[in-house]
Amino acid sequence: MNWPAERDLPEGRRRLLKEFVMTEIDRTPRRRRLPRLAVLAPALGLAAAAAVAVPLLLGGSPAYAVAKLPDGLIHIDIHEAKDPDKLEADLREMGANVVVDYIPMGKKCSPQPRSSHFLSSEEAPLSVFPTPEEAGPGFVIDPRVIGPDQTGVLEFSVSETAKGGIVAGIWARVGEGPIADCTLVDTTEAPLSH
């Protein structure tokens, strides 16, 4: 599988990747085997920052699949970047108070930050990496880290690589209080006037 080089990532995605890596550096590694990744479409993939990549399927299958694991974790397998409201509703039915947004290339969520306070990944590790061996391709969240008056936020920043593949950076955090709706705005900023 060809992984996109850092130079192939748009600037906003590079920042998300660096933030993810910096928050994960101090975490104690878990003794789990990395998930086996099925190669389903050679040019397409879903990446949680750069930690996990899962191929996307196009056509014929549901946009995603969710399953509650025996230990209470929720496994999410994204096949296409569509139906975020349905995914959000399904996750809430499984006990995960989350909002889900797909953010296309060249866009970002506004306003930022969307919460008055986001907990650190040490305080509330919403995403579980590496994924448990029994989960298979995809990624896993832990709904138990979302406390009262808190909401999990899953943002999938969908981008095309220089070689025509598609990747989605996963940003997963827990916010306190209400979470602002994601209004998509262009990532390009107007040049400064002198």
Identify the residue with better confidence: 36 or 83: 83
**For 90-138, what is each residue's pLDDT tens digit?**
999 999 999 999 998 889 999 989 999 999 999 999 988 777 777 777 8
Q: What's the CA gap between 112 and 89, in Å, rounded?
A: 23
- pLDDT band per the 50, 70, 90 thresholds, residue 77: confident
This prediction's pTM = 0.66
What pLDDT score does 15 carry? 61
**For 1-45, what is each residue's pLDDT tens digit?**
445 554 555 555 556 555 555 554 444 444 333 333 232 222 233
Identify the residue with better confidence: 139 or 175: 175
For every residue of 143-162, DSSP letters joined together read: GGG--TTEEEEEEEEEEE-T
- pLDDT band per the 50, 70, 90 thresholds, residue 183: very high
Please state whether beta strands 150-160 and 98-103 pair in parallel, antiparallel, or not at all (unpaired): parallel
Q: What's the CA gap between 112 and 122, in Å, rounded?
A: 21
Lowest mean pLDDT among 54-58, 71-75, 146-150, 154-158: 54-58
